[in-house]
Each structure stands twice: as structure tokens, then as C-alpha cells.
Amino acid sequence: MVKAVVVGATGYTGAELVRILSKHVGVKITTLVSRSYVGKNYHEAYLHFYNIVDVICDELDFSLLHKSDVVFLALPHGHSMEIAKELVDQGKKVVDLGADFRLNNVLEYEKWYGVKHKAVDLLGTAVYGLPEINREKIKDASLIANPGCYPTTVILGLAPLLKHKLIDLNSIVVDSKSGVSGAGRSLSLKTHFSEVDESLSAYAVKAHRHIPEMEQELCKIAGTEIKLCFTPHLIPMTRGMLSTIYANLQIDIDEEELYNLYLEFYKNEYFVRVLPKGEFPKTKAVLGSNFCDLALAVDERTNRVKVLSAIDNLVKGASGQAVQNMNIMFELDERLGLDFVPLYP
């Protein structure tokens, strides 16, 4: 039985971790750390856990963390570095759901996130936790940098095209839309109900913090430098993320061939579903699940390919992927705790 701790348990990603881990047959939750709910039962933060998770929230205490096998850090950027360093030094497995270890270049991290990195030596050892791409590295990792939600949709959407060198690398344009839960639980005018309801808006239009993460990992797959054009949008719904990716094809290949290429690339990946031809991803079809749904179309007039990619931003885009990584690290069935049907309607 894997003993697990969640630090930052009362944020949205923390709560999603607790939901998944509470029904994971191979895991025992030993400690839930929350700065805001110290000494309170977990259900006081989230009533839907009443009589399901009976745990009193603790403050950050390394003596409690050291009794665990794995620690999930569901914290904002800048808050995981020193905790992760202490835990890795003590031989613990760590999955960081924040951004502190996603970028290999410390200068890039400090530029995009505006804070000084305090665990630079770990950047070279952290493994980018996208299982469908880095499974073998994840198996032996001590520290996992859990991917961002937008990068998950984009990297999984583009990987087959890049691996087979089918597109012009200077032509990639990504249009992404996310539910409001991606902004976290903290109060903000930007996510206030009356501000976002019945409104679709773009944000971080000139530069988004996930851009260097996407480019870094896409470059590794392509074997050369990539610069993409990315625009995120906020949709007035709680969960869900849909990315539409455009690129110019640089070889003569038809839609049928591309479709079969995607089927072959992901044939052994349970959590990536290449949809039947004529079907296109819907956020409702992955709601509450760890699936990433993919589809593609070729615009023959312009010789462009369009790839559509949908996930639940809190599951495959965060906590579900974190549990998938943990399963791999501890040589458990990768589906454990995650093999459930999406919610519908």
C-alpha cells in the first residue's frame, strides 16, 4: 500500500487528487496539508467528502511528510522548490503539480514566472510527467514535473506529426479554451460569476506561461527548435479544455493516412482516445475522466491539418495525470484509481 500525502489539499487540484486517491485500492492517504484549514476535517473544505474522507488537515510538517512514500505538491509556482528538495534528499517520491520543475532552463523559468529558483540542481533530474511520451523515464524518477493542462492537449495533439516530420514547424497555431476551474479556487474578479458568465474572452494574448513548456517538450520530440503561436481563452463552464491546433503539411499525405498514423501512434495508450472518423472531441465527453480525446481533419484547399484535443483540465490536465505518474513510479497498473467512465450529461 502506497502511503500518500497531498500538500495543498484544499485547492481544486488538491481536491481532485483526494477524490481519486480516496478510491485508489493501492493507496492510503496519510496526511492532507492545508494552510487555510489546519485542524479542520477535510469535509469542512469540501462537503462532498463528508463520510468519505475523514482526515484532519495538518500544517506543513516534514516529520509527517517523511512517513509517506509519495508526496503530491499541489501548490502555486514558487512554493514547491524547497519542499521538493528536502523530500528528494530524504529519498521520497515527489509529484509536483505546479510549474517549478517543468522548465529545464532556470533563466527561462525566472523570466516567465518572475521568481528566483531555489532548487536549481533538481531541474536536471526532474522528469516531465507526460506518460504517453516519457513513460520509461518516469519509471525511475524521484521527482515528476506534472505537465500543465494546455501543454497536455497540445503535446499529445502534435506528437505524431512531429515524430514523423509531417508539418512545417514554423506554421503551428494553437487556439485553446478552458473552463474557469483552471484559474484555481482563490477569489478573483477575473473569474467572478457575473464577470465570466455568458462571456468568452481571450487572455495572456501576447505571452502565456505555458508557451516555453510546450516549445521545450515539442522541440524534444521534433529534434529541432519550435516556436508556436498560442492563444488561450476562458469559457464560462467549470471544467474542460479544448485545443484546436493548425499546421501546414509539408508532404503529400491524405486524411486517411494521417488518421491511421494517429491510431498506430497511440494504439497502446488507454488514456488517449483517437475518435472514430467524423467524430470530434467534446469537453463533455471527457468530463471527470483521465482521457484525452483526439481527432483530426485535413483542409485540402490550404494543405493544412487541424488537430482537436480535449481533456478535463483538473484530471488529465492535472490530478489524474499526477496519479497516472504515481502508478508508473510504483509499478502499479497505470489505470488504477483512474479507470472510470466520464460523467454525462
Quick: pLDDT tens for 1-48. Answer: 999 999 999 999 999 999 999 999 999 999 999 999 999 999 999 999
Q: Is 149 a catalytic residue?
A: yes
How do residues 213-232 score in pLDDT, each as one tens digit?
A: 999 999 999 999 999 999 99
Among 83, 63, 86, which residue's Cα sits nearest to residue 75? Answer: 83
Tell me the percentage of the chain whose pLDDT exceeds 90. Answer: 96
CA dist., res. 69 & res. 206, Å (int): 41
Read off the C-alpha cell for 280.
470530434
Amino acid at 161: L
Per DSSP, 41 falls in state B
What domains are defined for the chain? 2-125 (3.40.50.720), 150-313 (3.30.360.10)
Q: What's residue 43's pLDDT?
A: 98
Cell numbers of 5, please?
A: 500525502
Strand order in the sheet with 27-33: 27-33, 2-7, 70-73, 93-96, 143-145, 127-128
pLDDT of amino acid 79: 97
- pLDDT classification of 201: cutoffs 50, 70, 90: very high
pLDDT category of residue 187 using cuts at 50, 70 and 90: confident
Mean pLDDT of 297-309: 97
Q: What is the mean pLDDT of residues 136-147?
A: 98
Run of H or E residues at 261: helix 255-265
312 has a pLDDT exceeding 80: yes
What is the reported pTM?
0.97
Q: Do 309 and 157 touch, CB atoms closer than 8 A?
A: yes
CB 38 within 8 A of CB 58: yes
Amino acid 187 reads L
* Helices (runs of H) and strands (runs of E) counted in the chain: 10, 13
Pairwise CA distance, residues 150 & 238, whole Å: 16
CA-CA distance, 338 to 216, in Å (whole number)?
Answer: 28
* Per annotation, catalytic residue among 57, 149, 219, 229: 149
